Structure 1
Amino acid sequence: MFMQVGIKEEAQDVLRVLWSNNDEVRTTKYQLLICGATCSRACALFVLQKWAKDNRQQHPETFESITKQFYMNDDFIQTFSTDEEAANTATELKHVLKTGGFNLNKFLSNKPAVLENIAEEHRIGVLKLQKILGQTWNPESDQLLFAKPKLSYDNENIIQRNLLSMAASLFDPIGKILPFAIRLRCILQKLIKQGHNWYQLLSKENYHEIQQWREDFQNMPPIQIPRCLVPNVDGTHELHTFTDASLSAVSAVAYLRTISTDSTIATHYVISKSKAAPIKQMSIPKLERKAVSLGAELTGFCSVRPR
Protein backbone atom coordinates (compact mmCIF):
# COMPACT_ATOMS: atom_id res chain seq x y z
CA MET A 1 0.00 0.00 0.00
CA PHE A 2 2.81 2.41 0.86
CA MET A 3 4.41 2.14 -2.57
CA GLN A 4 1.13 3.22 -4.16
CA VAL A 5 1.41 6.67 -2.58
CA GLY A 6 3.64 9.27 -4.21
CA ILE A 7 5.50 12.09 -2.46
CA LYS A 8 5.42 15.68 -3.66
CA GLU A 9 8.73 16.86 -5.09
CA GLU A 10 9.15 19.59 -2.48
CA ALA A 11 8.80 16.99 0.31
CA GLN A 12 11.13 14.35 -1.11
CA ASP A 13 14.14 15.74 0.78
CA VAL A 14 12.61 14.24 3.94
CA LEU A 15 13.40 10.78 2.52
CA ARG A 16 16.80 11.63 1.04
CA VAL A 17 19.43 8.90 1.32
CA LEU A 18 23.21 9.11 0.95
CA TRP A 19 24.62 6.11 -0.92
CA SER A 20 28.35 5.38 -0.80
CA ASN A 21 29.91 3.28 -3.56
CA ASN A 22 33.70 3.10 -4.08
CA ASP A 23 34.31 6.40 -2.30
CA GLU A 24 31.62 8.01 -4.43
CA VAL A 25 28.70 9.45 -2.49
CA ARG A 26 25.42 9.67 -4.34
CA THR A 27 22.21 11.34 -3.19
CA THR A 28 18.94 9.50 -3.73
CA LYS A 29 15.42 10.71 -2.99
CA TYR A 30 12.47 8.40 -2.55
CA GLN A 31 9.49 9.37 -4.67
CA LEU A 32 7.13 6.90 -2.95
CA LEU A 33 6.33 6.16 0.67
CA ILE A 34 8.62 3.59 2.25
CA CYS A 35 7.85 0.97 4.88
CA GLY A 36 10.50 2.11 7.34
CA ALA A 37 9.27 5.68 7.87
CA THR A 38 7.24 6.35 11.01
CA CYS A 39 4.90 8.66 9.10
CA SER A 40 4.13 6.18 6.29
CA ARG A 41 1.08 4.57 7.86
CA ALA A 42 -0.59 7.85 8.72
CA CYS A 43 0.20 9.32 5.28
CA ALA A 44 -1.07 6.22 3.45
CA LEU A 45 -4.32 6.13 5.41
CA PHE A 46 -4.81 9.86 4.86
CA VAL A 47 -4.42 9.43 1.10
CA LEU A 48 -6.76 6.44 1.09
CA GLN A 49 -9.46 8.30 3.01
CA LYS A 50 -8.98 11.46 0.93
CA TRP A 51 -9.49 9.41 -2.24
CA ALA A 52 -12.62 7.83 -0.73
CA LYS A 53 -14.05 11.25 0.13
CA ASP A 54 -13.38 12.56 -3.39
CA ASN A 55 -15.34 9.61 -4.81
CA ARG A 56 -18.05 9.57 -2.17
CA GLN A 57 -20.90 10.34 -4.58
CA GLN A 58 -20.17 7.36 -6.85
CA HIS A 59 -19.69 4.83 -4.02
CA PRO A 60 -21.43 6.04 -0.82
CA GLU A 61 -21.56 2.65 0.95
CA THR A 62 -17.96 1.81 0.13
CA PHE A 63 -16.92 5.25 1.39
CA GLU A 64 -18.26 4.40 4.85
CA SER A 65 -16.34 1.13 4.91
CA ILE A 66 -13.06 2.69 3.74
CA THR A 67 -13.15 5.56 6.24
CA LYS A 68 -14.13 3.47 9.26
CA GLN A 69 -12.78 -0.06 8.77
CA PHE A 70 -9.10 0.43 7.92
CA TYR A 71 -7.08 0.25 11.15
CA MET A 72 -3.49 1.25 11.86
CA ASN A 73 -2.13 -0.05 8.57
CA ASP A 74 -3.58 -1.45 5.36
CA ASP A 75 -5.73 -4.12 7.05
CA PHE A 76 -9.46 -3.87 6.35
CA ILE A 77 -11.61 -5.48 9.05
CA GLN A 78 -15.40 -5.62 9.09
CA THR A 79 -18.18 -7.90 10.29
CA PHE A 80 -21.45 -8.56 8.47
CA SER A 81 -24.85 -10.01 9.31
CA THR A 82 -25.09 -12.23 6.22
CA ASP A 83 -22.69 -14.02 3.87
CA GLU A 84 -24.24 -12.25 0.88
CA GLU A 85 -23.58 -8.81 2.35
CA ALA A 86 -19.96 -9.72 3.09
CA ALA A 87 -19.38 -11.15 -0.41
CA ASN A 88 -20.87 -8.10 -2.14
CA THR A 89 -18.79 -5.72 -0.02
CA ALA A 90 -15.57 -7.66 -0.73
CA THR A 91 -16.18 -7.62 -4.49
CA GLU A 92 -17.17 -3.95 -4.62
CA LEU A 93 -14.39 -2.83 -2.29
CA LYS A 94 -11.72 -4.54 -4.39
CA HIS A 95 -13.10 -2.97 -7.58
CA VAL A 96 -13.42 0.53 -6.10
CA LEU A 97 -9.94 0.57 -4.54
CA LYS A 98 -8.37 -0.72 -7.73
CA THR A 99 -9.63 2.36 -9.60
CA GLY A 100 -7.67 4.45 -7.10
CA GLY A 101 -4.46 2.47 -7.55
CA PHE A 102 -4.86 0.32 -4.44
CA ASN A 103 -4.92 -3.42 -5.10
CA LEU A 104 -6.62 -5.16 -2.18
CA ASN A 105 -5.23 -8.66 -1.52
CA LYS A 106 -5.05 -11.41 1.13
CA PHE A 107 -8.80 -11.81 1.63
CA LEU A 108 -9.86 -14.01 4.52
CA SER A 109 -13.22 -14.92 6.04
CA ASN A 110 -14.54 -17.44 8.52
CA LYS A 111 -17.16 -18.34 5.86
CA PRO A 112 -15.59 -19.78 2.66
CA ALA A 113 -18.69 -18.87 0.62
CA VAL A 114 -17.86 -15.17 1.05
CA LEU A 115 -14.69 -15.52 -1.04
CA GLU A 116 -16.16 -17.39 -4.01
CA ASN A 117 -15.96 -14.30 -6.23
CA ILE A 118 -12.38 -13.49 -5.15
CA ALA A 119 -9.58 -14.99 -7.26
CA GLU A 120 -7.42 -17.62 -5.56
CA GLU A 121 -4.25 -15.51 -5.85
CA HIS A 122 -5.95 -12.70 -3.91
CA ARG A 123 -6.89 -14.88 -0.92
CA ILE A 124 -5.02 -16.25 2.08
CA GLY A 125 -4.99 -19.88 1.03
CA VAL A 126 -4.90 -21.76 4.34
CA LEU A 127 -7.26 -21.05 7.24
CA LYS A 128 -4.55 -20.73 9.86
CA LEU A 129 -4.14 -18.49 12.89
CA GLN A 130 -4.05 -14.81 11.96
CA LYS A 131 -3.07 -11.64 13.77
CA ILE A 132 -5.96 -9.14 13.86
CA LEU A 133 -5.10 -5.86 15.61
CA GLY A 134 -2.61 -7.71 17.77
CA GLN A 135 -5.11 -10.44 18.64
CA THR A 136 -4.74 -14.04 17.50
CA TRP A 137 -7.79 -15.14 15.50
CA ASN A 138 -8.69 -18.65 14.41
CA PRO A 139 -10.87 -18.13 11.29
CA GLU A 140 -11.92 -21.77 11.14
CA SER A 141 -13.51 -21.75 14.63
CA ASP A 142 -14.06 -17.96 14.61
CA GLN A 143 -12.50 -17.56 18.04
CA LEU A 144 -9.95 -15.21 19.60
CA LEU A 145 -7.00 -16.86 21.32
CA PHE A 146 -4.18 -15.72 23.55
CA ALA A 147 -0.74 -16.59 22.23
CA LYS A 148 1.69 -16.98 25.12
CA PRO A 149 4.85 -14.91 24.66
CA LYS A 150 8.25 -16.39 25.39
CA LEU A 151 9.34 -15.16 28.81
CA SER A 152 13.08 -15.42 28.34
CA TYR A 153 15.36 -14.32 31.15
CA ASP A 154 18.16 -15.69 33.28
CA ASN A 155 16.55 -17.92 35.89
CA GLU A 156 19.28 -17.17 38.41
CA ASN A 157 19.61 -13.42 37.90
CA ILE A 158 16.21 -11.74 37.79
CA ILE A 159 16.04 -7.99 38.23
CA GLN A 160 13.10 -5.63 38.41
CA ARG A 161 13.69 -4.55 34.83
CA ASN A 162 13.02 -8.14 33.67
CA LEU A 163 9.62 -8.07 35.36
CA LEU A 164 8.69 -4.82 33.63
CA SER A 165 9.68 -6.36 30.30
CA MET A 166 7.52 -9.42 31.03
CA ALA A 167 4.53 -7.27 31.96
CA ALA A 168 4.88 -5.26 28.74
CA SER A 169 5.02 -8.44 26.64
CA LEU A 170 1.54 -9.51 27.78
CA PHE A 171 -0.47 -7.73 25.10
CA ASP A 172 -4.07 -8.41 26.05
CA PRO A 173 -6.36 -5.43 25.30
CA ILE A 174 -9.61 -7.22 26.19
CA GLY A 175 -8.29 -8.86 29.37
CA LYS A 176 -8.44 -12.55 28.46
CA ILE A 177 -5.59 -13.33 30.89
CA LEU A 178 -6.17 -10.50 33.33
CA PRO A 179 -5.96 -12.73 36.47
CA PHE A 180 -2.37 -13.59 35.50
CA ALA A 181 -1.38 -10.13 34.28
CA ILE A 182 -2.57 -8.30 37.39
CA ARG A 183 -0.64 -10.71 39.63
CA LEU A 184 2.57 -9.72 37.88
CA ARG A 185 1.77 -6.02 38.18
CA CYS A 186 1.11 -6.43 41.91
CA ILE A 187 4.46 -8.18 42.36
CA LEU A 188 6.16 -5.34 40.50
CA GLN A 189 4.41 -2.78 42.66
CA LYS A 190 5.51 -4.62 45.81
CA LEU A 191 9.14 -4.41 44.70
CA ILE A 192 8.74 -0.67 44.19
CA LYS A 193 7.34 -0.35 47.72
CA GLN A 194 10.35 -2.27 49.05
CA GLY A 195 12.69 0.25 47.42
CA HIS A 196 14.26 -2.06 44.81
CA ASN A 197 16.07 -0.36 41.96
CA TRP A 198 15.80 -1.57 38.37
CA TYR A 199 19.09 -3.49 38.38
CA GLN A 200 18.99 -5.03 41.86
CA LEU A 201 18.71 -8.82 42.06
CA LEU A 202 15.50 -10.07 43.64
CA SER A 203 15.52 -11.49 47.13
CA LYS A 204 14.96 -15.21 47.64
CA GLU A 205 11.35 -14.65 48.70
CA ASN A 206 10.54 -12.46 45.68
CA TYR A 207 12.37 -14.85 43.38
CA HIS A 208 10.22 -17.79 44.48
CA GLU A 209 7.10 -15.68 44.03
CA ILE A 210 8.08 -14.88 40.45
CA GLN A 211 8.95 -18.48 39.72
CA GLN A 212 5.52 -19.55 41.02
CA TRP A 213 3.82 -16.97 38.80
CA ARG A 214 5.83 -18.09 35.79
CA GLU A 215 4.98 -21.74 36.43
CA ASP A 216 1.26 -20.92 36.75
CA PHE A 217 1.41 -18.84 33.58
CA GLN A 218 3.11 -21.58 31.55
CA ASN A 219 0.56 -24.14 32.81
CA MET A 220 -2.36 -21.88 31.94
CA PRO A 221 -4.79 -23.79 29.70
CA PRO A 222 -5.52 -22.40 26.20
CA ILE A 223 -7.97 -19.52 26.37
CA GLN A 224 -10.42 -19.10 23.49
CA ILE A 225 -13.44 -16.82 23.33
CA PRO A 226 -15.95 -16.32 20.49
CA ARG A 227 -15.19 -13.37 18.24
CA CYS A 228 -18.88 -12.77 17.53
CA LEU A 229 -20.59 -11.21 20.54
CA VAL A 230 -24.07 -10.61 19.13
CA PRO A 231 -25.81 -13.63 17.59
CA ASN A 232 -27.66 -12.93 14.36
CA VAL A 233 -31.08 -13.34 15.99
CA ASP A 234 -33.86 -10.98 16.98
CA GLY A 235 -34.03 -10.12 20.63
CA THR A 236 -32.75 -7.78 23.31
CA HIS A 237 -29.19 -7.18 24.46
CA GLU A 238 -28.07 -6.28 27.97
CA LEU A 239 -24.59 -5.20 29.05
CA HIS A 240 -23.78 -6.37 32.59
CA THR A 241 -20.70 -4.99 34.36
CA PHE A 242 -19.31 -6.42 37.60
CA THR A 243 -16.70 -4.79 39.82
CA ASP A 244 -14.63 -5.85 42.81
CA ALA A 245 -11.72 -4.59 44.87
CA SER A 246 -9.11 -5.84 47.31
CA LEU A 247 -6.08 -4.33 49.00
CA SER A 248 -4.03 -5.46 45.97
CA ALA A 249 -6.14 -4.45 42.94
CA VAL A 250 -9.44 -3.13 41.59
CA SER A 251 -11.16 -4.85 38.65
CA ALA A 252 -14.19 -4.69 36.38
CA VAL A 253 -15.57 -7.11 33.81
CA ALA A 254 -18.37 -6.73 31.24
CA TYR A 255 -20.62 -9.43 29.78
CA LEU A 256 -23.21 -9.20 27.01
CA ARG A 257 -26.49 -11.03 27.70
CA THR A 258 -28.70 -11.69 24.68
CA ILE A 259 -32.33 -12.75 25.08
CA SER A 260 -33.81 -13.95 21.79
CA THR A 261 -37.52 -13.86 20.89
CA ASP A 262 -37.84 -17.57 21.70
CA SER A 263 -36.52 -16.86 25.24
CA THR A 264 -33.12 -18.41 24.53
CA ILE A 265 -30.41 -16.70 26.59
CA ALA A 266 -26.77 -16.41 25.51
CA THR A 267 -24.01 -14.76 27.52
CA HIS A 268 -20.65 -13.64 26.09
CA TYR A 269 -17.55 -12.23 27.71
CA VAL A 270 -16.78 -8.74 26.35
CA ILE A 271 -13.84 -7.13 28.15
CA SER A 272 -12.21 -6.71 31.55
CA LYS A 273 -9.83 -4.20 33.09
CA SER A 274 -7.84 -4.13 36.29
CA LYS A 275 -5.50 -1.77 38.09
CA ALA A 276 -3.12 -2.33 40.95
CA ALA A 277 -4.25 -0.59 44.12
CA PRO A 278 -2.50 2.75 44.83
CA ILE A 279 0.85 2.50 46.61
CA LYS A 280 -0.58 4.63 49.39
CA GLN A 281 -2.84 2.19 51.21
CA MET A 282 -6.57 2.91 51.05
CA SER A 283 -9.55 1.44 52.86
CA ILE A 284 -11.65 -1.24 51.18
CA PRO A 285 -14.70 1.08 50.76
CA LYS A 286 -12.55 3.62 48.90
CA LEU A 287 -11.08 0.88 46.73
CA GLU A 288 -14.58 -0.42 46.01
CA ARG A 289 -15.49 3.08 44.87
CA LYS A 290 -12.51 3.08 42.54
CA ALA A 291 -13.65 -0.27 41.17
CA VAL A 292 -17.13 1.14 40.50
CA SER A 293 -15.56 4.09 38.70
CA LEU A 294 -13.49 1.68 36.59
CA GLY A 295 -16.67 -0.31 35.83
CA ALA A 296 -18.47 2.86 34.74
CA GLU A 297 -15.62 3.70 32.36
CA LEU A 298 -15.71 0.16 30.98
CA THR A 299 -19.49 0.31 30.48
CA GLY A 300 -19.19 3.62 28.66
CA PHE A 301 -16.44 2.24 26.45
CA CYS A 302 -18.51 -0.82 25.48
CA SER A 303 -21.63 1.25 24.86
CA VAL A 304 -20.06 3.33 22.08
CA ARG A 305 -18.19 0.56 20.25
CA PRO A 306 -19.42 -0.10 16.68
CA ARG A 307 -20.63 -3.57 15.75
Structure 2
Amino acid sequence: MTVHLFGGVWSPSCANFALRRTIEYNASEFHPKVLQTVKTNFYVDDCLKSVPSADEAVYLVHQLKELLLRGGFRLNKWIFNCTEVIYSLLEEEWTKGLKCLNMNFDNLPCERALGMLWNVELDQFQFNIQVEPKPMTRRGLLSIVSFVYDLLGYTGPYVLRAKMLFQQLCRLNYGWDDTIPPEIAEQWGRWLKDIHLMRFVCGAGLVQETLASDTIYGQCILETLVK
Protein backbone atom coordinates (compact mmCIF):
# COMPACT_ATOMS: atom_id res chain seq x y z
CA MET A 1 0.00 0.00 0.00
CA THR A 2 1.55 3.32 -1.07
CA VAL A 3 -1.33 5.76 -0.45
CA HIS A 4 -3.31 6.47 2.73
CA LEU A 5 -6.64 8.23 2.99
CA PHE A 6 -6.49 11.85 4.16
CA GLY A 7 -8.24 11.93 7.53
CA GLY A 8 -7.98 8.20 8.20
CA VAL A 9 -7.44 7.49 11.90
CA TRP A 10 -4.38 5.42 11.06
CA SER A 11 -2.78 8.00 8.73
CA PRO A 12 -0.96 10.11 11.40
CA SER A 13 0.75 7.05 12.86
CA CYS A 14 1.77 5.89 9.37
CA ALA A 15 3.18 9.34 8.58
CA ASN A 16 5.18 9.40 11.84
CA PHE A 17 6.49 5.91 11.16
CA ALA A 18 7.67 6.99 7.70
CA LEU A 19 9.35 10.12 9.17
CA ARG A 20 11.27 8.04 11.69
CA ARG A 21 12.28 5.48 9.10
CA THR A 22 13.67 8.31 6.97
CA ILE A 23 15.77 9.42 9.95
CA GLU A 24 17.08 5.90 10.59
CA TYR A 25 18.09 5.33 6.98
CA ASN A 26 19.96 8.66 6.70
CA ALA A 27 21.17 9.31 10.26
CA SER A 28 24.87 9.13 9.41
CA GLU A 29 24.65 11.93 6.83
CA PHE A 30 22.93 14.68 8.83
CA HIS A 31 23.61 16.71 11.95
CA PRO A 32 22.00 15.38 15.17
CA LYS A 33 20.06 18.68 15.57
CA VAL A 34 18.39 18.07 12.21
CA LEU A 35 17.44 14.52 13.18
CA GLN A 36 16.17 15.67 16.58
CA THR A 37 13.97 18.32 14.92
CA VAL A 38 12.21 15.64 12.89
CA LYS A 39 11.76 13.50 16.00
CA THR A 40 10.39 16.16 18.35
CA ASN A 41 9.14 19.16 16.37
CA PHE A 42 6.72 17.59 13.90
CA TYR A 43 3.04 17.19 14.75
CA VAL A 44 1.63 15.12 11.87
CA ASP A 45 2.27 17.53 8.95
CA ASP A 46 3.23 20.67 10.91
CA CYS A 47 6.75 21.53 12.02
CA LEU A 48 7.27 24.23 14.66
CA LYS A 49 10.83 25.10 15.61
CA SER A 50 12.60 28.03 17.23
CA VAL A 51 16.34 28.69 16.84
CA PRO A 52 18.64 31.48 18.10
CA SER A 53 19.71 32.98 14.76
CA ALA A 54 18.70 33.42 11.11
CA ASP A 55 21.84 31.59 9.92
CA GLU A 56 20.96 28.54 11.99
CA ALA A 57 17.38 28.66 10.70
CA VAL A 58 18.52 28.78 7.06
CA TYR A 59 20.88 25.84 7.61
CA LEU A 60 18.21 23.81 9.40
CA VAL A 61 15.54 24.47 6.77
CA HIS A 62 17.70 23.33 3.87
CA GLN A 63 18.92 20.27 5.77
CA LEU A 64 15.34 19.31 6.65
CA LYS A 65 14.26 19.68 3.03
CA GLU A 66 17.11 17.46 1.82
CA LEU A 67 16.61 14.82 4.51
CA LEU A 68 12.86 14.43 4.19
CA LEU A 69 12.89 14.52 0.40
CA ARG A 70 14.74 11.22 0.60
CA GLY A 71 11.68 9.78 2.30
CA GLY A 72 9.28 11.24 -0.26
CA PHE A 73 8.30 14.26 1.85
CA ARG A 74 8.45 17.59 -0.02
CA LEU A 75 8.30 20.36 2.57
CA ASN A 76 6.52 23.56 1.55
CA LYS A 77 4.23 26.34 2.87
CA TRP A 78 7.13 27.75 4.89
CA ILE A 79 6.72 30.84 7.05
CA PHE A 80 9.13 32.53 9.46
CA ASN A 81 9.21 35.68 11.56
CA CYS A 82 12.50 36.64 9.88
CA THR A 83 12.53 37.89 6.27
CA GLU A 84 16.15 36.81 5.82
CA VAL A 85 15.10 33.19 6.25
CA ILE A 86 12.03 33.66 4.04
CA TYR A 87 14.18 34.96 1.16
CA SER A 88 16.47 31.93 1.45
CA LEU A 89 13.65 29.88 -0.14
CA LEU A 90 11.95 30.03 -3.49
CA GLU A 91 8.68 32.00 -3.49
CA GLU A 92 6.79 28.89 -4.59
CA GLU A 93 7.78 27.27 -1.28
CA TRP A 94 6.30 30.09 0.83
CA THR A 95 2.94 29.80 2.53
CA LYS A 96 0.08 31.37 0.59
CA GLY A 97 -0.26 34.32 3.00
CA LEU A 98 3.27 35.53 2.20
CA LYS A 99 3.02 35.56 -1.58
CA CYS A 100 0.63 38.54 -1.72
CA LEU A 101 2.61 40.73 0.72
CA ASN A 102 5.02 43.58 0.13
CA MET A 103 7.77 42.50 2.49
CA ASN A 104 9.08 46.06 2.82
CA PHE A 105 5.80 47.55 4.08
CA ASP A 106 3.29 44.87 5.13
CA ASN A 107 3.23 43.07 8.45
CA LEU A 108 3.67 39.33 8.38
CA PRO A 109 0.33 37.50 8.58
CA CYS A 110 -1.30 35.36 11.24
CA GLU A 111 -1.13 31.64 10.52
CA ARG A 112 -2.71 28.52 12.01
CA ALA A 113 -0.31 26.39 14.01
CA LEU A 114 -1.41 23.31 15.96
CA GLY A 115 -4.98 24.63 15.98
CA MET A 116 -3.93 28.02 17.37
CA LEU A 117 -3.26 31.40 15.78
CA TRP A 118 0.40 32.33 15.42
CA ASN A 119 0.95 36.06 15.02
CA VAL A 120 4.13 35.83 12.96
CA GLU A 121 4.97 39.54 13.14
CA LEU A 122 4.83 39.59 16.96
CA ASP A 123 5.85 35.92 17.37
CA GLN A 124 2.89 35.21 19.64
CA PHE A 125 0.39 32.41 19.97
CA GLN A 126 -3.08 33.94 20.14
CA PHE A 127 -6.62 32.68 20.58
CA ASN A 128 -9.53 34.21 18.72
CA ILE A 129 -12.54 32.41 20.20
CA GLN A 130 -16.01 33.25 18.89
CA VAL A 131 -18.54 31.69 21.24
CA GLU A 132 -22.06 30.99 20.05
CA PRO A 133 -24.90 31.39 22.58
CA LYS A 134 -25.66 28.18 24.45
CA PRO A 135 -28.32 27.26 27.04
CA MET A 136 -27.41 27.99 30.67
CA THR A 137 -27.17 24.30 31.48
CA ARG A 138 -24.46 21.75 32.20
CA ARG A 139 -24.60 20.71 28.56
CA GLY A 140 -24.24 24.28 27.32
CA LEU A 141 -21.33 24.99 29.66
CA LEU A 142 -19.44 21.86 28.61
CA SER A 143 -20.03 22.65 24.93
CA ILE A 144 -18.36 26.06 25.24
CA VAL A 145 -15.45 24.84 27.39
CA SER A 146 -14.74 22.06 24.88
CA PHE A 147 -14.68 24.64 22.09
CA VAL A 148 -11.41 26.11 23.44
CA TYR A 149 -8.82 24.07 21.53
CA ASP A 150 -5.35 24.46 23.00
CA LEU A 151 -2.95 21.60 22.35
CA LEU A 152 -0.10 23.13 24.36
CA GLY A 153 -2.18 24.09 27.39
CA TYR A 154 -1.57 27.86 27.39
CA THR A 155 -5.21 28.58 28.23
CA GLY A 156 -5.21 26.10 31.11
CA PRO A 157 -5.41 28.66 33.97
CA TYR A 158 -8.33 30.42 32.28
CA VAL A 159 -10.26 27.29 31.24
CA LEU A 160 -9.76 25.87 34.74
CA ARG A 161 -12.23 28.42 36.14
CA ALA A 162 -14.99 27.10 33.87
CA LYS A 163 -14.11 23.48 34.64
CA MET A 164 -14.46 24.21 38.35
CA LEU A 165 -17.96 25.57 37.73
CA PHE A 166 -18.82 22.42 35.81
CA GLN A 167 -17.44 20.37 38.70
CA GLN A 168 -19.73 22.22 41.13
CA LEU A 169 -22.78 21.41 38.98
CA CYS A 170 -21.83 17.73 38.96
CA ARG A 171 -21.47 17.69 42.73
CA LEU A 172 -24.88 19.35 43.09
CA ASN A 173 -26.37 16.59 40.89
CA TYR A 174 -27.69 18.97 38.23
CA GLY A 175 -28.92 17.19 35.10
CA TRP A 176 -27.50 17.89 31.65
CA ASP A 177 -30.41 20.15 30.71
CA ASP A 178 -31.29 21.63 34.12
CA THR A 179 -30.97 25.41 34.36
CA ILE A 180 -27.90 26.24 36.46
CA PRO A 181 -28.36 28.17 39.75
CA PRO A 182 -28.05 31.99 39.77
CA GLU A 183 -24.75 32.13 41.72
CA ILE A 184 -23.01 29.81 39.23
CA ALA A 185 -24.71 31.55 36.28
CA GLU A 186 -23.20 34.86 37.48
CA GLN A 187 -19.69 33.39 37.60
CA TRP A 188 -20.22 31.77 34.21
CA GLY A 189 -21.27 35.13 32.75
CA ARG A 190 -18.08 36.78 34.02
CA TRP A 191 -16.02 33.97 32.51
CA LEU A 192 -17.68 34.44 29.12
CA LYS A 193 -17.17 38.20 29.32
CA ASP A 194 -13.41 37.74 29.75
CA ILE A 195 -12.95 35.14 27.02
CA HIS A 196 -11.78 37.72 24.46
CA LEU A 197 -8.86 38.69 26.74
CA MET A 198 -6.93 35.47 26.07
CA ARG A 199 -3.63 36.35 24.45
CA PHE A 200 -0.43 34.47 25.17
CA VAL A 201 3.24 34.92 24.33
CA CYS A 202 5.76 32.12 24.01
CA GLY A 203 9.50 32.53 24.46
CA ALA A 204 12.62 31.39 26.27
CA GLY A 205 13.43 31.31 29.97
CA LEU A 206 11.40 29.49 32.62
CA VAL A 207 9.62 30.39 35.86
CA GLN A 208 8.06 27.48 37.71
CA GLU A 209 5.03 27.66 40.01
CA THR A 210 3.27 24.90 41.94
CA LEU A 211 -0.37 25.09 43.06
CA ALA A 212 -2.30 22.79 45.37
CA SER A 213 -5.60 23.16 47.22
CA ASP A 214 -8.73 21.21 48.11
CA THR A 215 -10.17 22.11 44.70
CA ILE A 216 -7.30 21.89 42.23
CA TYR A 217 -3.67 20.90 41.99
CA GLY A 218 -1.13 21.44 39.28
CA GLN A 219 2.15 22.90 38.16
CA CYS A 220 2.77 25.74 35.72
CA ILE A 221 5.95 26.80 33.96
CA LEU A 222 5.82 30.38 32.66
CA GLU A 223 7.98 31.25 29.68
CA THR A 224 9.54 34.67 29.18
CA LEU A 225 11.25 36.05 26.09
CA VAL A 226 14.35 38.22 26.42
CA LYS A 227 15.45 40.14 23.34
**Shorter-chain TM-score: which interval?**
0.7 to 0.9
Distance in 1, matches of 2:152 and 2:68, equals 32
C-alpha contact (below 8 Å) 2:22/2:70 kept by paired residues = no
C-alpha contact (below 8 Å) 2:22/2:67 kept by paired residues = no
From 37, 50, 65, the equivalent of 2:37 is 65
Alignment-derived partner of residue 136 in structure 2: 158
Residue 124 of structure 2 corresponds to residue 143 of structure 1: yes
Alignment-derived partner of residue 199 in structure 1: 177
Distance 1:246 1:137, change over 3 A: same
C-alpha contact (below 8 Å) 2:18/2:71 kept by paired residues = no
C-alpha contact (below 8 Å) 1:146/1:176 kept by paired residues = no
Please state which structure has a larger fraction of its residues in strand.
1
Structure (1 or 2) with the larger CA radius of gyration: 1
Residue 165 of structure 2 corresponds to residue 184 of structure 1: no
From 242, 247, 253, the equivalent of 2:209 is 242
Q: Note the 1:288-307 alignment, pairs <5 A.
A: none
Matched positions, count: 214
Distance in 1, matches of 2:30 and 2:66, equals 11
Q: CA deviation at 1:70?
A: 1.8
Distance 1:115 1:195, change over 3 A: same
Q: CA deviation at 1:174?
A: 5.2
Q: Note the 1:19-98 alignment, pairs <5 A.
A: 32-61=3-32, 62-71=34-43, 73-98=44-69
Distance in 1, matches of 2:23 and 2:221, equals 36
Identity %: 25
What is the letter of the counterpart of residue 228 of structure 1? G
Distance 1:209 1:118, change over 3 A: same
Q: CA deviation at 1:204?
A: 4.0
Residue 191 of structure 2 corresponds to residue 224 of structure 1: no
Q: CA deviation at 1:118?
A: 0.9
Q: CA deviation at 1:178?
A: 4.2
Unpaired segments ≥5 residues, structure 2: 99-107
Distance 1:36 1:159, change over 3 A: same
**2:169 match: secondary structure:** helix
What is the letter of the counterpart of residue 101 of structure 1? G
- Deviations along 1:148-198, whole A, 9 cap, x unmatched? 2x32234xx422111112222223455544453222112111111211111
RMSD across aligned C-alpha pairs, in angstroms? Answer: 2.6
Alignment-derived partner of residue 106 in structure 1: 77
Unpaired segments ≥5 residues, structure 1: 1-6, 8-30, 231-238, 257-267, 270-307
Distance in 2, matches of 1:43 and 1:173, equals 21
What is the letter of the counterpart of residue 70 of structure 1? F
Q: Note the 1:8-19 alignment, pairs <5 A.
A: none
- Deviations along 1:62-111, whole A, 9 cap, x unmatched? 4333233222x121222222211110121222233223322110111111
**1:164 match: secondary structure:** helix
